[in-house]
Amino acid sequence: MPYIVPPIQAIGRTTLRTVAAVGRAGYLAVDAARALRKGSLWAPHLLGQMAKIGVESLPIALFVALFTGVVLALQASYTFTGAVPLYFVGALVGKTMVVELGPVLTALALSGRVGANIAAEIGAMRVTEQIDALETLAYDPVAYLVVPRVIAGALMFPAVVILANALGIAAGLGTAVSQLDMSSFEFMKGVRLFFEAWDVWFSIIKSISFGLTVTAVGCFFGFNTTGGAEGVGRAATRAVVVSTMIILALDAFWAATLLK
């Protein structure tokens, strides 16, 4: 059965690589937790990272939210016309934006912008020995590079998502009023109909977990970059792919655990 052996070997190699990667990720997480007490190393960089991860990501996040709100309103109208009162368009746009599409689409957009950027930046530092240089200068590279980025991600992702949610709903309102012959009163009646404060908390909890994921995954692949410029490109790509998969899995996890 010689034709069976190569696929089994390939599965074995992939399994071993994956398990080793999970182990390295665990070590990095423990090092990052320990590095929290070295505030003098990470605190000076926190504001800069918050600006880079949050403020500079606003244009793409709001762009995504704008068109999401427009499309939601149009598709809701298409679905509900003749079936239920049209103010349900507001209910669908408001609920879907806050509970699902706002946090998830924002996180997916930012995994490309923020995650790839972090992986490439730290990966380039790894292949040019700048991280080794930090170590020889008695800087803990995890405290210096990873902690400010991860904390900034946890703080700024919810802020960006809240703004994205608001713009998405506003875009839906604008579309409903201009294209669907609805009044703003009708639209907002629908938004308030199914609104619960817990929806906002749910959105924030999800965005914090997505922010931690995107930044931590970017840092992990950056730290483990090998192979020069090609390796940096690979790290950036893997950071986006893996963080996308984790975001979608977390999305399902939070829905299953917090929406019962």
Partner 1 sequence: MFDVDKAFGSTQVLRHFTLTVDEGQTLSIIGGSGSGKSTALKHMVGLLRPDEGEVYVDDENVSRLDQESLYALRRNVGYVFQFAALFDSMTIAENVGMGLKRMPDMSDEAIDERVAECLQMVGLLGRTKGCLPSCPGDRGSEPASPGRSPRDPSTCSTTSRLPGSTPLPRR
Q: Verify binding: residue 230, partner 1, rule CB under 8 A.
A: no
At closest approach, how far in Å is the CB of 251 from partner 1?
Answer: 34
Distance in angstroms (rounded) separating the CA atoms of residues 81 and 253: 33
HEC profile for 94-156? Answer: HHHHHHHHHHHHHHHHHHHHHHHHHHHHHHHHHHCCHHHHHHHCCCCHHHHHHHHHHHHHHHH
In the complex with partner 1, the residue whose CB is nearer, 138 or 197, is: 138
At closest approach, how far in Å is the CB of 48 from partner 1?
Answer: 11
At closest approach, how far in Å is the CB of 133 from partner 1?
Answer: 4
Question: Which residue's entry shows tokens 């639209």?
Answer: 187
In the complex with partner 1, the residue whose CB is nearer, 135 or 196, is: 135
In the complex with partner 1, the residue whose CB is nearer, 138 or 256, is: 138
In the complex with partner 1, the residue whose CB is nearer, 124 or 151, is: 124
Window 130-159: residues binding partner 1 (CB under 8 A):
130, 132-133, 135-140
Q: What are phi and psi of 191, to 5 degrees?
A: -60, -45
Q: In this structure, what token pair is assigned to residue 185?
A: 């009163």
- The Cβ of residue 212 has, within 10 Å, a number of other Cβ atoms equal to 17
Question: Do the beta carbons of residue 28 and residue 141 sit within 8 Å?
Answer: no
In the complex with partner 1, the residue whose CB is nearer, 116 or 124, is: 124
At closest approach, how far in Å is the CB of 145 from partner 1?
Answer: 11
Q: In this structure, what token pair is assigned to residue 193?
A: 């109909």
At closest approach, how far in Å is the CB of 88 from partner 1?
Answer: 51
Size of the site for partner 1 (CB under 8 A): 11
Closest CA to 32 of 90, 24, 128: 24
Window 90-129: residues binding partner 1 (CB under 8 A):
128-129
In the complex with partner 1, the residue whose CB is nearer, 139 or 194, is: 139
Distance in angstroms (rounded) separating the CA atoms of residues 212 and 171: 28
At closest approach, how far in Å is the CB of 128 from partner 1?
Answer: 6
In the complex with partner 1, the residue whose CB is nearer, 97 or 124, is: 124
Q: Verify binding: residue 18, partner 1, rule CB under 8 A.
A: no
At closest approach, how far in Å is the CB of 120 from partner 1?
Answer: 13
Question: Do the beta carbons of residue 184 and residue 77 sit within 8 Å?
Answer: no
Question: Which residue's entry shows tokens 């939210």?
Answer: 65
Which residues of the chain form contacts with partner 1 (CB under 8 A)? 128-130, 132-133, 135-140
